[in-house]
Amino acid sequence: MGRPVTLFTGQWADLPFDELCALAAKMGYDGLEIACWGGGIDIDKAYEDDSYVQYIKDTLAKNNLICKAIGTHIIGQCVGDAPDPRLNNFAPAELADQPEAIREWAIRTMKKAPVVAKKLGVGVITSFTGSPIWKWLYSFPQTTEEQIEAGFDRIVELWTPILEEFRKNGIKYALEVHPGEIAFDYWSTKKLLDKFKDWPEFGLNFDPSHLIWQGVTPHIFLNDFIDRVYHVHMKDAAVTLDGRSGLLGSHIDFGDLRRGWNFRSLGHGDVNFEEIIRVLNAHGYDGPLSVEWEDSGMDRIDGATEAAAFVKKVDFKKSEFKFDDAIAN
């Protein structure tokens, strides 16, 4: 049997938890990476109510599903972002248009998350950090090196008290390297990991779909940072530059064929998953392969069902035999 194939529930948060569990099992998944919003896990409730935690465990077990990670992406985003009215969509309604109150809520909730993970028997929390400097991605008006350095240091300042709770509870934090985060490509990831070099709790949720369209080769990124990769997303994207479209997306929504790239269901994009599996095999990664299913051009149940089968097919076992050894016999 290969690595467990799980489904990230972030894009399925409109479904009640029990209904989603039944559907995931039917679609062929071994488990879930449960998002902490919508129909997923309510962190505050799980922190206070052990009977609710038991409900989550029992519902998973009833459907023969496991859980190896929970996702706090939208909460973590609110920790490190600059004030942004779009964060109103992530925070409790009563905090709308109060950026510092939203940040305080996010920090408080992220400190509870490793306690909840420990209760659930889960060892990894996937998330975002936010970024106070993302709006300065293009350096005009001119952006100084000191401003960038201060942005990274601000993330360290905000997240260190949270990571102390991760350390106390023996839980790993896995940042999904992603546009909009302080670490969004190869060199920003290296810089951030250097900043957190004394915090082995801080690592990565590898997701190739956010790298491929930027021109970063996913399996090279994975190989170079493998010692800090604590979780793996299986997600695909296709680059479709046509002479009119650009990589920055033109403020056109996902799925629109005028865009220069789009997320695609697994196997329908440009990610070389075989090379990813070879790197994982070489380094002994035995954690879950979690499907984050996004494809605006395909039915999600059909697509996610196909994706589960795709991952199980591509996840070949590491060789335990040197083929030339047979010659000596």
Is the torsion defined by CA of 34, 37, 42, 43 positive or negative? Answer: positive
Residue 59 parent element (H or E): helix 50-62
266-314 pLDDT, tens digit each: 999 999 999 999 999 999 999 999 999 999 999 999 999 999 999 999 9
Nearest partner of 21 among 60, 55, 54, judged by Cα: 60
The confidence score (pLDDT) of residue 257 equals 96
Q: From CA 23, how far away is CA 328, in angstroms rounded?
A: 51
Confidence band for 326, pLDDT divided at 50, 70 and 90:
low
Name all domains of the chain by residue range, CATH numbers in brackets.
Answer: 5-328 (3.20.20.150)
Task: Check if the beta carbon of residue 22 is closer than 8 Å to that of residue 301.
Answer: no
The confidence score (pLDDT) of residue 137 equals 95
Q: From CA 266, how far away is CA 303, in angstroms rounded?
A: 8
Confidence band for 321, pLDDT divided at 50, 70 and 90:
low
The confidence score (pLDDT) of residue 319 equals 74
The confidence score (pLDDT) of residue 262 equals 98
The confidence score (pLDDT) of residue 55 equals 98
Task: Check if the beta carbon of residue 234 is closer than 8 Å to that of residue 291.
Answer: yes
Amino acid of residue 25: A
The confidence score (pLDDT) of residue 324 equals 59
The confidence score (pLDDT) of residue 325 equals 65
Model confidence at 238: pLDDT above 80: yes
Confidence band for 318, pLDDT divided at 50, 70 and 90:
confident
Q: Rounded mean pLDDT of the chain? A: 96
Confidence band for 1, pLDDT divided at 50, 70 and 90:
low
**Tokens linked to 58:** 């029992």
50-105 pLDDT, tens digit each: 999 999 999 999 999 999 999 999 999 999 999 999 999 999 999 999 999 999 99
Q: From CA 318, how far away is CA 329, in angstroms rounded?
A: 22
Model confidence at 329: pLDDT above 80: no
Q: From CA 83, how far away is CA 209, in angstroms rounded?
A: 27
Q: From CA 132, how far away is CA 30, in angstroms rounded?
A: 37
Amino acid of residue 178: H
Average pLDDT over residues 21-35: 98
Strands 236-239 and 202-206: unpaired
The confidence score (pLDDT) of residue 112 equals 98
Quote helix, strand, coil % in the chain, to nearest 5: 50, 15, 40
**Cβ partners under 8 Å of residue 324, min gap 6:** none
Is the torsion defined by CA of 223, 224, 229, 234 positive or negative? Answer: negative
Q: Rounded to 10 degrees, what is the CA torsion of 122, 182, 289, 61?
A: 30
**CA-to-CA separations, 93 to 14, 98, 171, in angstroms, rounded:** 18, 10, 29
